[in-house]
A and B are shown apart, each in its own frame.
Chain A
Amino acid sequence: MNLNEEAKKDLGVCSSAWLNGSEGPSDRLSRRRFVQWLSRVSTLVGLAASGCSGAEDRRHFVRPGKREHLMDGYKWIATAAVRLHTAIPVVAKCYEGRPIKLEANPLHPVFFRGFSLSGYAPIGTDAVAQAELFNLYDPDRAFPYRQKADPIDQSALWQYVRGICARLADSRGRGLAVVVRAGPQPSKYRCLELLHDVYPEMCVAVCDVLRSNWSRTSKQLFGLELDLFYHLEQTRRVLSLWSDFIGTEPAAWCWAGRLKANCRESDSRCFVVEGQLSRTGVLADGRLAVGPHKAVAVCLALLYYACRQGLCKESTGSALEHEFGLVKSTLTEQELRWLEAVLVELSLYRQDALVVVGPQAPPIVHITGCLLNEWLGANSRLVKYLKHRWPARSGLRQVEQVAEAIRAGEVRYLVLINVEPHESFPSGWHWPELGSSPVEVFYFLPYQSQLMLKSSWSGPVAHPFESWGDALTPDGTWTPLQPLVKPIWGGTGELDLLLRWLPDQLRVSAYDFLRGTFAELSGLKDQDLEVGFTEGLRQGFGPAAATEVRLSIDLGQAFAALRREIEVELGKQDAPVLLLEPDPRWEDGLWPNNPALYELPDPVTGVTWTNYLTVGQQLAAGLGIGAYQPSSSKNEVWLAEIEIWSHCFTLPLIVLPAIADGVIGARLGWGSAKEVQIGRGRGVNLFRVRQQADQYMVPVRRIRIVGKGLLSITAAGLAPELPFANSLYRLAGLEVDSRPASTGLRSSTFGSDGRPQWGMVIDLEKCVGCGACVVACMVENNIPVVGPKEIERGRDMFWLRIESYRVGGDPERWLFLPMLCQHCEAAPCELACPVHATVHDSRGLNVMIYQRCIGARYCANNCPYRARRFNFFHYGDIAFLLSQLRTDLPQRKEGSAELRVWREVVRLRLNPDVTVRMRGVMEKCTFCVHRLEEAWVKGRIRANRSDPGQLKEVPACVQACPTGAMVFGDLTDPSSAVAKLWNDQRACVLLPEKGTRPRIRYLQRRPKIELNELPRKRTGDRN
């Protein structure tokens, strides 16, 4: 039985009986009732994980009417983690009716399952999806439905809305305006179409504050908005034009997995043109640092060289020559040579080469990319153009049109769902102040904002895991979202909120509407529909909702569009520009209260808890910063004041090597002003300097250094010196050593008798440093978030961290090194422990026994890998983090009801299989021993029942890895993937000179190929 069938057997459908209609007043769970309920179940939770709640409260609360409540153990329910521009199919592991962990849905067709010699199929998620549960169990989401500032009952609001709907149906919807957040949800667009049919004169806008420039270009070239899907697994050469497609792009989890799936077998290589220093850039084989303000020159150079290689007819090409001559001077000779060399390289691999363009790149780059792909033969082969079943139709307006309608007084009822005009709208939309206008505003957000209190009606939006919904994965597969819990704070789902505005005769529940969507997509009816829909819910996917269209590009039209764009671009100034990059963690800032994502260090800089400016060394020299750091302390950085139009911001400044000249980088989505305990005022909100939703480059009027400041940078960040130089050089593929890392296992020492010997191999070629493993580890092992001050002191609690190293003196060649407990066979920590709190078990794991630990910390001092973490305080208590953060909101006092709610709710997220560590004990990676044990127990039970299912249970990090870079398994089993890679020629251990004999081996990266050697012949060599 393979993994998929195994997974299929275990997946369940959420019990829809009590989740289905989440309406009516009785469903609203007030904070008070929630606390009451919590105290009743606290025995259950207490048994689960967190500190012993004592003998006084030993009562079960047996909820009426649900038979399997107390004995269902774990349940796996397929759903999806939905974000602004992507959705990741996941399976939620639910314990006693609450989700505690998300894992990639192995059945879902979006994942590539092709043959891969080295390691697992790339089935994983990303860091943001892993951290989704922190949003779900967030007490800051608790606020009531309101009329003006007064709390009301939900039913009163819906009663009122029904009245309006009846009136609106008569007036064809005149006076109604709906602005809803963009997203990959087909049912939402279907619902908007339905609304538009019912109320033809209403004003509907889909608000996407991080609009991709591709959608505009796509309209220009093909007349409709298309989505792109790259078959990166088939490529051998990729050129990225200002695209961080394995780093910060929304679907990076998908692209990274596909790019790395066959990278060793097919010797695929990647070249990058970028202004910033992105993960795609530092992992690439060639990188050109040019800011997008020089996009015209780069594009024309590429097209000019391509034309010489036969992109188009002579006449068009020679015309380009003229324009190329105009802008040629902005690039140096060296840069032009690099571009030519890359083009030659791509042309050698025609049919297998692909150009990827970043969504933030100017439209001219998108046109260029399209043309180059056409020339390379990649269109429709390696790039698929997907057309949505329910695209945002032409009937839908732009947000600025809605704003205009409001100003013109045409709008009486304004419905805002998940949009934040004051936080994220670009200034060019001219959103009116609604305070004094007669417009009746219905405002729904997951977190309370000041604007809500001024709105006529407002209410909470439920988390996607609390409501019915659907989403499209990048390949266009329809993916249903099942509610995993009843809305904890009584919110209403996004789809539900839209459906409320349908007139009575058309209104259906979100569940029925979803089934309708499924019926339209699948064409099934009646009984087949029921069966098919249930099966779709159970498996977590349905038929495709975006289908491929085959397009032929009209070269003449494309070149005409190109010329228009050249005119536009040439008019722009090229002073220092601020590149605004969407942060995949926050996107438009709708969910700003996720502590795990604040704590997750940026893999390139290692900075946590804030955003910052990045500049290159040339610009830094221009600013007069001699030494790039103000002091020898790693955490101390310069503060810079940056002036853009009339705005002035002060942000920390980080100097990075190899950033393009004249480019300052910053991340969007930070600096939430909402009343949230964790996310309020972290970083600076840069949304307001933008004028348009697709503007990612703004001119900087002035930048100057204003002082010094402290940043919370983790020890792993900022590509430091090389502590273990020799091994690292080998890992980076700089020094090829054919000697195997070390001799065989020493399992006999541990008295093993047929027990598995666990080991892990990490392929550094495949690791893209995304941090999914880090957050998965946090969620799985109840690792606390410690806050910025503790990080500054080097007390981060990550069991698994991503270290980045610059290697070989090359600032553009980095190494991302997942660093966790190496489970050394000759572990130095065990020798140092005075109380035997850390010992080896018979499966070769170095285990840590918290009950024995006395906090001597000798083990941590003796660990050469810095893999051990000490609980200096009771980090597991959320009160610690809240006291650290000190927002300007009222403090949560010890013993207050609010703090109690925080503690109880945060406990719901904890994994009941892992102890919550107390203050004063050491902790470290356990290879998720509870998961291994669980798999072993299940295997035994199955074997006894003569049901021989092979359960592939792996640590959380391995499961979460989107590229399959981590391979885990039994080293004594010669058929396992890990045993095959264990003695691979490229495998090496860290710090071999210490003689620790780690149970983790790293596969070294491939040597870089040099573009200067070009032109070469196409080689068939396989590495």
Chain B
Amino acid sequence: MFKIWTIINQVRRKAKSACLVWLERIRKPGLWALLLLVGGVIALVWYWDVRLPWSLGPAPVQPIEFSHRVHVVELELDCRFCHFGAETEARAGLPSPAICWDCHQQVGRSSIGLQPLLEWVEEGVPLYWARVYRLPDHVFFHHGIHTQAGVACIVCHPRIGLEDRTAIDIVPRMRFCVGCHRRAFGIVKDKESVFQIQPFSGGKAISVKGASTDCSACHR
């Protein structure tokens, strides 16, 4: 144990002296400024992309290990089976555990992973489900109008069918939205294939004019 600490201390001392030497070298203020600038940019990008809640990150741990892959690809459930706001409402909706219970009172009821669901049903213990996607407060997104217009689910959730643990797949930035809104060729599909989530699962792409790029379409 003691030995490890000595090694660490040696490394620290060496690193310190190396730093001092290096600091000695850059005397010019221009270099300092450049260094600060680069550091600032890195920090900013890190903050923007990693720290902010709507950016990409690791998949949060949920009380139940719910796998979209199993339900959607293997069992071929329709998105709307659980997210039934997706077709008409602004929010696709986080399904109530009652919907899980509809099937799982028959299937896999004894599995350990479903224990929280059983507790919810029997004792009313609430489930704390972590939110995955989150838009900034000043953006108003409407699921219904997008699916109605033929924007397939996989446009914004491209990896949902591959994931065992749901994570954010894209950074929902304004340029991502505006890219489609300006010119929607190749993204808009016909009505039948909007809710198919296996990539390349067919359904022909149709061309429509771009959607509104008014500020007021999303920011109110």
A residues near B (Cβ < 8 Å) are 40, 43, 46-47, 49-52, 54-55, 58-71, 73, 839, 841-843, 845, 847, 849-851, 913-915, 926, 929-930, 933, 937, 940-941, 944
Closest residue to B217 on the A side, CB-wise?
A933
B144 and A61 within 8 A (CB): no
Which residues of chain B come closer than 8 Å to A51, judged between CB atoms?
A: 137
B51 and A55 within 8 A (CB): yes
Please choose the segment from B2-10, B15-23, B65-73, B88-96 that sits at the chain A interface, where 4 or more of its residues have CB less than 8 A away. Answer: B88-96
Q: How far is the CA of A941 from the CA of B219 in the complex (A)?
A: 21
Q: Chain B's nearest CB lies how many Å from the CB of A18?
A: 13
Q: How far is the CA of A478 from the CA of B126 in the complex (A)?
A: 41
Q: How far is the CA of A71 from the CA of B90 in the complex (A)?
A: 10
Q: Chain B's nearest CB lies how many Å from the CB of A869?
A: 16
Closest residue to A62 on the B side, CB-wise?
B127
B128 and A915 within 8 A (CB): no
B219 and A47 within 8 A (CB): no
Which applies to chain A's interface (DSSP): helix, strand, loop or mixed? loop
Which residues of chain A come closer than 8 Å to B216, judged between CB atoms?
A: 841, 843, 845, 847, 926, 929, 933
B44 at the interface (CB under 8 A from A): no
B98 at the interface (CB under 8 A from A): yes
**Residue of A60, A62, A68 with most chain B CB atoms under a 10 A cut-off:** A62
A60 and B215 within 8 A (CB): no
Contacts A62-B120, A930-B220 given; does A52 touch B126 at CB 8 Å: no
Q: List residues 185-220 of chain B with CB under 8 A from any CB of chain A.
A: 191, 212, 214-217, 219-220
Contacts A58-B130, A73-B90 given; does A67 touch B137 at CB 8 Å: no
Q: How far is the CA of A813 from the CA of B125 in the complex (A)?
A: 66
Which residues of chain B come closer than 8 Å to A68, judged between CB atoms?
A: 96
Which residues of chain B come closer than 8 Å to A52, judged between CB atoms?
A: 53, 136-137
Contacts A62-B120, A62-B129, A941-B88 given; does A46 touch B217 at CB 8 Å: no
Which residues of chain B come closer than 8 Å to A61, judged between CB atoms?
A: 126, 128
Q: How far is the CA of A70 from the CA of B96 in the complex (A)?
A: 7
A58 and B215 within 8 A (CB): no
Which residues of chain A come closer than 8 Å to B98, judged between CB atoms?
A: 65, 67
B134 at the interface (CB under 8 A from A): yes
Q: How far is the CA of A423 from the CA of B191 in the complex (A)?
A: 65
A60 and B128 within 8 A (CB): yes
B131 at the interface (CB under 8 A from A): yes
A-B contacts, 18 of them at CB < 8 A, read A47-B135, A58-B60, A60-B128, A61-B126, A61-B128, A62-B96, A63-B126, A64-B125, A66-B96, A841-B214, A847-B215, A847-B216, A850-B138, A913-B140, A929-B216, A930-B220, A933-B140, A940-B149
Q: Chain B's nearest CB lies how many Å from the CB of A992?
A: 27
Closest residue to A58 on the B side, CB-wise?
B131
Which residues of chain A come closer than 8 Å to B148, judged between CB atoms?
A: 940-941, 944
B43 at the interface (CB under 8 A from A): no
B residues near A (Cβ < 8 Å) are 51-53, 60, 83-85, 87-99, 120, 124-131, 134-138, 140, 142, 144-145, 148-149, 191, 212, 214-217, 219-220
Q: How far is the CA of A58 from the CA of B135 in the complex (A)?
A: 12
Q: How far is the CA of A937 from the CA of B87 in the complex (A)?
A: 11
B214 and A849 within 8 A (CB): no
A67 and B219 within 8 A (CB): no
Q: How far is the CA of A69 from the CA of B127 in the complex (A)?
A: 13
Which residues of chain A come closer than 8 Å to B93, judged between CB atoms?
A: 70-71
Contacts A839-B215, A929-B216, A940-B145 given; does A55 touch B52 at CB 8 Å: yes
A59 and B131 within 8 A (CB): yes
Which residues of chain A come closer than 8 Å to B85, judged between CB atoms?
A: 71, 73
Q: How far is the CA of A929 from the CA of B220 in the complex (A)?
A: 7
Q: Chain A's nearest CB lies how many Å from the CB of B117?
A: 11
Closest residue to A67 on the B side, CB-wise?
B98
**Residue of B51, B125, B131, B215 with most chain A CB atoms under a 10 A cut-off:** B215
B220 and A926 within 8 A (CB): yes
B215 and A67 within 8 A (CB): no
Q: How far is the CA of A421 from the CA of B16 in the complex (A)?
A: 80
Contacts A54-B53, A67-B98, A73-B91 given; does A46 touch B212 at CB 8 Å: no
Q: Chain A's nearest CB lies how many Å from the CB of B219?
A: 5
A62 and B97 within 8 A (CB): yes
Q: How far is the CA of A63 from the CA of B95 in the complex (A)?
A: 12
Q: How far is the CA of A487 from the CA of B148 in the complex (A)?
A: 39
Q: How far is the CA of A839 from the CA of B217 in the complex (A)?
A: 13
Q: How far is the CA of A58 from the CA of B94 in the complex (A)?
A: 13
Q: How far is the CA of A69 from the CA of B136 in the complex (A)?
A: 23
Closest residue to B136 on the A side, CB-wise?
A52
Contacts A55-B52, A71-B93, A849-B219 given; does A60 touch B124 at CB 8 Å: no
Closest residue to A852 on the B side, CB-wise?
B215
Q: How far is the CA of A981 from the CA of B153 in the complex (A)?
A: 44
Q: How far is the CA of A911 from the CA of B220 in the complex (A)?
A: 11
Closest residue to B102 on the A side, CB-wise?
A67
Q: Chain A's nearest CB lies how many Å from the CB of B162?
A: 23
Which residues of chain B come closer than 8 Å to A941, judged between CB atoms?
A: 87-88, 144-145, 148
Which residues of chain B come closer than 8 Å to A64, judged between CB atoms?
A: 120, 124-126
Closest residue to A916 on the B side, CB-wise?
B137
Contacts A58-B134, A940-B148 given; does A71 touch B89 at CB 8 Å: yes
Which residues of chain A come closer than 8 Å to B127, judged between CB atoms?
A: 62
A71 and B84 within 8 A (CB): yes
Q: How far is the CA of A929 from the CA of B138 in the complex (A)?
A: 14
Q: How far is the CA of A845 from the CA of B94 in the complex (A)?
A: 34
A65 and B124 within 8 A (CB): yes
Closest residue to A755 on the B side, CB-wise?
B212
Q: Chain B's nearest CB lies how many Å from the CB of A780?
A: 11
Q: Chain B's nearest CB lies how many Å from the CB of A98?
A: 16
Which residues of chain B come closer than 8 Å to A54, judged between CB atoms?
A: 53
Which residues of chain B come closer than 8 Å to A40, judged between CB atoms?
A: 126
Q: Chain A's nearest CB lies how many Å from the CB of B67?
A: 19
Closest residue to B90 on the A side, CB-wise?
A73
Which residues of chain B come closer than 8 Å to A842, judged between CB atoms?
A: 212, 214
Q: Chain A's nearest CB lies how many Å from the CB of B62?
A: 10
A843 and B129 within 8 A (CB): no
Q: How far is the CA of A69 from the CA of B129 in the complex (A)?
A: 14
**Residue of B51, B99, B144 with most chain A CB atoms under a 10 A cut-off:** B144
Q: How far is the CA of A914 from the CA of B220 in the complex (A)?
A: 6
Which residues of chain A come closer than 8 Å to B214, judged between CB atoms?
A: 841-843, 847
B91 partner, pick from A43, A59, A71, A839, beta carbons under 8 A: A71
Q: Chain A's nearest CB lies how many Å from the CB of B102?
A: 9
Known: A63-B126, A926-B216, A933-B220. 16 other contacts (CB 8 A): A40-B126, A52-B53, A58-B131, A58-B134, A62-B128, A64-B125, A65-B124, A67-B96, A67-B99, A71-B92, A71-B93, A71-B96, A847-B216, A926-B220, A929-B216, A933-B140
A59 and B129 within 8 A (CB): yes
**Residue of B87, B88, B95, B99 with most chain A CB atoms under a 10 A cut-off:** B88
B142 partner, pick from A58, A65, A847, A937, beta carbons under 8 A: A937
Which residues of chain A come closer than 8 Å to B138, judged between CB atoms?
A: 850-851, 915
A849 and B126 within 8 A (CB): no
Q: Chain A's nearest CB lies how many Å from the CB of B193?
A: 15
Q: How far is the CA of A941 from the CA of B142 in the complex (A)?
A: 12
A71 partner, pick from B51, B95, B126, B130, beta carbons under 8 A: B95
- What are the 10 closest A-B residue pairs judged by CB atoms, nearest first? A71-B93, A841-B214, A64-B124, A55-B53, A847-B216, A67-B98, A937-B145, A58-B131, A73-B89, A930-B220
Which residues of chain B come closer than 8 Å to A65, judged between CB atoms?
A: 98, 124
Q: Chain A's nearest CB lies how many Å from the CB of B42?
A: 20
B215 and A59 within 8 A (CB): no
Which residues of chain A come closer than 8 Å to B217, judged between CB atoms?
A: 841, 933
Contacts A915-B137, A929-B220, A930-B140 given; does A62 touch B126 at CB 8 Å: yes
Q: How far is the CA of A43 from the CA of B191 in the complex (A)?
A: 33
Q: Chain A's nearest CB lies how many Å from the CB of B66?
A: 13
Which residues of chain A come closer than 8 Å to B131, judged between CB atoms?
A: 43, 58-60
Q: Chain B's nearest CB lies how many Å from the CB of A430?
A: 54
Which residues of chain B come closer than 8 Å to A839, judged between CB atoms?
A: 215
**Residue of B89, B130, B137 with most chain A CB atoms under a 10 A cut-off:** B137
